[in-house]
């Protein structure tokens, strides 16, 4: 299916797939905040206790939603840009979207097993891939002689990668506290 030679693709269609995948991934996240189907809750106090027990998953959900939102936002910022893209850019966009679709998985993993280091590592890896690919796409999206890694990284993406690494380090020392590192990005 590799198109031969100098195929061109309309950026509007890449944007449409991207908006769809972001919208779906951001909405899918909510499916992880569920009370088990067979929970026999009969009092208000029971239900409140179970809702409180979901607080870690809710924090993860909030973080994942707004991190995805921030990546989406950085992708739609108005920049001088062509209306068509070549096949290398489409490939890179698909690779980026792949790591968008894995967020519901890694977010659900860290929501349920946030006290175990491997879950935090998988989530941090997912976040790092999103940040690195965003830098790559922003770097390649300008004409060759005006490319600048500093401009593509935009100051905040390296900070974001640093908080991902920090979350892993924290979770090794204080299990279950790693996710709080991502809140640094909200400052």
Q: Give the range of 27-35, 139-147, 161-169, 176-184 binding a second copy by CB under 8 A.
A: 27-35
Q: Report the residue from 69, 165, 174, 184 that binds a second copy according to the rule CB under 8 A.
A: 69
Q: Distance between CA atoms of 116 and 92, rounded to whole angstroms? A: 32
Q: What letters, b where the CB count within 10 A reaches 16 and e where it falls short, cover 66-85?
A: ebbebbbeebeeeeeeeeeb
Q: Report the residue from 55, 76, 149, 183 that binds a second copy according to the rule CB under 8 A.
A: 76
Q: Distance between CA atoms of 113 and 176, rounded to whole angstroms? A: 8
Q: Report the residue from 17, 149, 165, 174 that binds a second copy according to the rule CB under 8 A.
A: 17
Binding to a second copy (CB under 8 A) within 43-62 occurs at 43-44, 46-48, 51, 62
Q: Counting contacts by CB under 8 A, is residue 98 touching a second copy?
A: yes
Q: Counting contacts by CB under 8 A, is residue 181 touching a second copy?
A: no
Q: Report the residue from 55, 82, 84, 148 that binds a second copy according to the rule CB under 8 A.
A: 84
Bridge partners, residue 98, by sequence? none
Site size for a second copy (CB under 8 A): 75
Q: Counting contacts by CB under 8 A, is residue 160 touching a second copy?
A: yes
Closest CA to 137 of 160, 155, 162, 154: 154
Q: Write down the least CB distance from residue 146 to a second copy, Å.
A: 18
Q: Distance between CA atoms of 48 and 53, rounded to whole angstroms? A: 9
Q: Write down the least CB distance from residue 147 to a second copy, Å.
A: 18
Question: Taking the CA atoms of the chain, what radius of gyration do you get in angstroms?
Answer: 19
Q: Report the residue from 92, 113, 140, 152 that binds a second copy according to the rule CB under 8 A.
A: 113
Q: Report the residue from 74, 139, 162, 176 that binds a second copy according to the rule CB under 8 A.
A: 74
The 3 state secondary structure assigned to 34-92 is CCCCCCCCCCHHHHHHHHHHCHHHHHHHHHHHHHHHHHHHHHHCCCCCCCEEEHHHHHH
Q: Write down the least CB distance from residue 135 to a second copy, Å.
A: 11
């Amino acid at each position: 299916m590799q198109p031969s030679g100098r195929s061109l693709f309309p950026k509007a269609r890449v944007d449409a797939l991207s908006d769809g995948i972001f919208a779906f991934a951001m909405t899918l996240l909510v499916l992880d905040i569920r009370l088990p189907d067979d929970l026999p809750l009969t009092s208000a106090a029971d239900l409140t206790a179970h809702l409180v027990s979901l607080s870690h998953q809710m924090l993860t959900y909030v973080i994942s939603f707004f991190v995805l939102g921030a990546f989406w936002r950085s992708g739609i910022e108005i920049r001088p840009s062509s209306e068509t893209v070549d096949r290398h850019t489409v490939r890179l966009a698909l690779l980026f979207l792949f790591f968008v679709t894995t967020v519901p998985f890694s977010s659900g993993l860290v929501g349920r097993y946030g006290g175990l280091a491997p879950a935090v590592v998988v989530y941090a890896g997912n976040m790092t891939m999103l940040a690195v690919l965003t830098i790559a796409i922003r770097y390649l999206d300008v004409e060759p002689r005006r490319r600048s890694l500093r401009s593509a990284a935009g100051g905040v993406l390296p900070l974001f990668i640093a908080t991902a690494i920090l979350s892993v380090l924290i979770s090794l020392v204080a299990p279950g506290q790693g996710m709080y590192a991502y809140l640094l990005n909200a400052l």
